[in-house]
Amino acid sequence: MPAVGGGSFWQFDERLRSKGQKYFFLKNERKFCGYKSQNALILRENKGILFLERGDYMIDRPMYIDKVMAYTDAPFVKILTGVRRCGKSTILKMIMERLRDERAIPESQIVSYRFDSMEYEDMTAKQMYAELKSRLSTNGRTYFFLDEIQEVSGWEKVVNSLVSDFDVDLYVTGSNSKMMSSEISTYLTGRYIAFRIYTLSFQEYLTFKGQHTLLKDTRTELADYIRRGGFPAVHLQDYSLDEIDTIVRDIYNSTIFSDIVRRNQVRKIDQLERVVKYTFHNVGNTFSAKSISDYLKAERRSLDNETVYSYLEKLEKAYLLHRCSRYDLRGKEILKTQEKFYLADTSLRYSVLGYQANMTASSLENIVYLELCRRGYTVYIGKTDDGEVDFVAVRQNEKVYVQVTQKIDSEKTEEREYKRLLEIRDNYPKYVLRTDEFAEGNYDGIKTMHVADFLLSQEY
């Protein structure tokens, strides 16, 4: 075992322990890290000696990093989008690390900016262009990493000019889909590739948590994952549920007020909040703008359909909500009414509404929906003649049908869950996902799995 400043590894371990320093050992990377994401204790190995230093700990997310880096040095702008605090900035940092460590790109050729900093609050597109142009390397290609770039109006023109006129490789992030507007189509047609970043998957959650604590069985861990959610920030320390709710509520508030209220000059914030709470309450239920409007009228809060549509659209553009359309399995067409909405992360629901036991079933559905999206599927609700299939997931020539239920406690429930899938006469995989002890086996060709096993499976 390498030494630490002349002492043994175990002595170093004991010194940290005696000082009450919380740390964890990254098994595959030979690092000690403090739980805190910033100013963490990190023990690095260099030529057989372990060195203690201060630094940021980052959750490794190879699923995204590998996808993005497949286009390194290709003539495309790499655009990473997703809800605030889902890990986009960390992914940029890890790509920078890989460029330095694995591709030997000099530090002078790697340039990063974070445009949500006060330093750039009033920056214009011309100022941005001049600033970035001044940082171009004279010794080869410049690798630009531009975080929260949508904060500078007209950034598309700047990026287009840099790509057209200089030897650059650009990576940008944004937390509002407004950045994916027609302006990009105008200035960057055929020159960009977009990557949607999600909060931690169940697999990522287990991988990270397993580095600093003893994992329980996956089915027990699933219950924790549903409640705690997948925002990376809440898994950097062993936070209490109250602390997690505070962190997630802060993410929610900053999204609502920065990406929706301030950006769109929303004046009636109380109306917006009521629409949010209605959608959060009704995760997994089909509804329309009219049903929200009627509900608010019953509460003596008048709100017309167009305003409700506008609020829902803004919540989608801030990536807080995902719209899931219905697909007519008989007519083979996408329907425009009675959609469902799912949340960017289940923890948002609990932080805004508080915990209620009857939320678990729809939260399970939410988690499965997000996992299918992470894996590159376009997801619909399947409409049958007398009901619906929870998810019809399509990816190129592949298709998967999924029913999600918390448990099956009667023959009637069992018949309902399986019958709709049995009516579909094709050979694509079909699943019923459960969380009870009988969640396994095969029912007339329909595979029964525990939700936790499905989330970790590589078969779809």
Q: Give domain limits for the chain.
A: 9-55, 62-196, 203-456
Provide the pLDDT confidence category of residue 238 given band limits of 50, 70 and 90.
confident
- Which among 379, 290, 376 has a CA at the least distance from the CA of 342? 379
In whole angstroms, how far apart are CA 104 and each of 90, 96, 223, 353? 20, 11, 43, 49
Provide the pLDDT confidence category of residue 182 given band limits of 50, 70 and 90.
low
Contact 167, 339 (CB under 8 A): no
Neighbours of 366 (CB within 10 A): 25
Q: Is 445 left (phi over 0), alpha (psi -120 to 50) or beta?
A: left
In the structure encoding, which two tokens stand for residue 55, read together?
């630094």
Judge whether residue 27 has pLDDT over 60. Answer: no
Distance CA 19, CA 383 (A): 60
Q: What's the whole-model pTM score?
A: 0.86
- Which among 333, 344, 348 has a CA at the least distance from the CA of 369? 344
Contact 162, 168 (CB under 8 A): yes
3-state class (DSSP) for residue 389: strand
Judge whether residue 48 has pLDDT over 90. Answer: no
- With residue 292 as reference, give the H or E element that holds it: helix 289-298
What are the tens digits of pLDDT across the range 402-422? 999 998 877 777 888 898 999
Judge whether residue 38 has pLDDT over 70. Answer: no
Distance CA 79, CA 156 (A): 11
Distance CA 127, CA 156 (A): 13
pLDDT score of 112: 98
Distance CA 419, CA 173 (A): 44
pLDDT score of 177: 73
Contacts of 176 (CB under 8 A, 6+ apart): 150, 259, 263, 317, 318, 319
3-state class (DSSP) for residue 376: coil
Provide the pLDDT confidence category of residue 178 given band limits of 50, 70 and 90.
low
Provide the pLDDT confidence category of residue 31 given band limits of 50, 70 and 90.
very low
- Mean pLDDT, to the nearest integer, of 128-142? 97
Q: What percentage of the chain carries pLDDT values higher than 70? A: 86
- Mean pLDDT, to the nearest integer, of 104-119? 96
pLDDT score of 295: 86
- Mean pLDDT, to the nearest integer, of 91-107? 97
Q: What is the CATH number of domain 62-196?
A: 3.40.50.300
pLDDT score of 28: 36
Judge whether residue 219 has pLDDT over 80. Answer: yes
Query: Mean pLDDT across the chain, nearest whole number?
Result: 86
| 213 against 54, higher pLDDT | 213
Contact 409, 380 (CB under 8 A): no
| 138 against 214, higher pLDDT | 138
pLDDT score of 186: 78
